[in-house]
Amino acid sequence: MKIVAGGASPLLASRLATLLKTELAKTTYREFPDGELYVKIEGIEEEDVIVVQSINTNNDLVQLLLIFDALTNRAESIVAVIPYMGYARQDKLFSEGEAISIRAVARLIESYVDKVVTVNIHSKEAMGYFKKLIHLDAMPLLGKFYEGRSITMISPDLGSLERVRVAAAHAKCRFDYLEKTRLDEETVVIKPKELGVKNEDVVIVDDIISTGKTIAEAAKLVLEAGARSVECACVHAVLAKQALNRLYSAGVRRVVATDTVEKPISEISVAELIASALKS
């Protein structure tokens, strides 16, 4: 068995290789002057292959398809570990005529692989478009990271409430939620609410931080409600468009994420979670 580390997930792939006591295949990734991608995978000979590649950009998706193609007729089986499944937020028709992006991505990926492993895909609807999916929950890991600290966890919206309930159970702390309305991809409004966080240390927990506007807005309300401090934690640190600056400027003291998307704030690793799923 070999592991192919996609360009988006080299650290997680090497952590998995260590845990599974297996080797990383030799890979070459290049970009041509016109932006097209080039992929070469060496040393695969009729064996099982685990490909590890998060989809955080369009190039990540194209590179993944080229990796699958490079493995054609060489891999006995392919398991695609896609720790962050991009495009999952477009999981239904929000208006007539749209693409259901995750449906297209699911079809494409599953046409090449035997199994797909992912972590906290955005919604049950998105999950429903896969037939070969093994779905893993990193919320217990986020919770354990805070175990022993006297905090209150806050979900910025109803959609993340169930996730935050799980994290809070593992952190052994209390939790509450806010109610967010998204006006468009750049604008969120959160209803003020009695939170009972006066003089509390608060951690806002979400599945994804993209622009950071959701957490920044939630942090503002939490601080206005008298919290002593605000931190935030997420599974997927997508961090588009100056998100970290936005969060720190909103008064968030610390931002923590897993390594599903590899960023300097990826302090929590999902490698053991994925390795045990692959072993079983």
Interface contacts to ligand R5P, rule CB under 6 A: 156-157, 159-160, 188, 206-214
Q: How far is the CB of 180 from ligand R5P (least distance, A)?
A: 7
∠ CA(264), CA(266), CA(268), 5° rounding? Answer: 150
Which of 94, 125, 85 shows the shortest CA–CA distance to 236? 85
User: Is the CB of 75 or the CB of 261 nearer to ligand R5P?
Assistant: 261
Backbone angles phi, psi at 161, to 5 degrees: -60, -45
Considering the complex, what minimum distance in angstroms separates the CB of residue 62 from ligand R5P?
Answer: 23
CA angle 149, 137, 182 (to 5 degrees): 85
Least distance from C-beta 207 to ligand R5P, angstroms?
A: 5
Q: Choose between 67 and 91: whose C-beta lies nearer to ligand R5P.
A: 91
172 labelled catalytic: no
Give me the least distance between CB of 169 and ligand R5P, in Å please: 19
Inter-residue contact 160 to 179 (CB < 8 Å): no
Q: Which is nearer to ligand R5P, 22 or 57 (CB)?
A: 57
Give 157 or 231: the residue with its C-beta nearer to ligand R5P: 157
Structure token digits, residue 182: 């998204």
| Active-site residue (options: 2, 180, 213, 263) | 180
Which string of DSSP letters, residue by residue, matches 135-169? EE--HHHHHHHTTTS--EEEESSGGGHHHHHHHHH
Q: Where in the sequence numbering do the catalytic residues fall?
A: 180
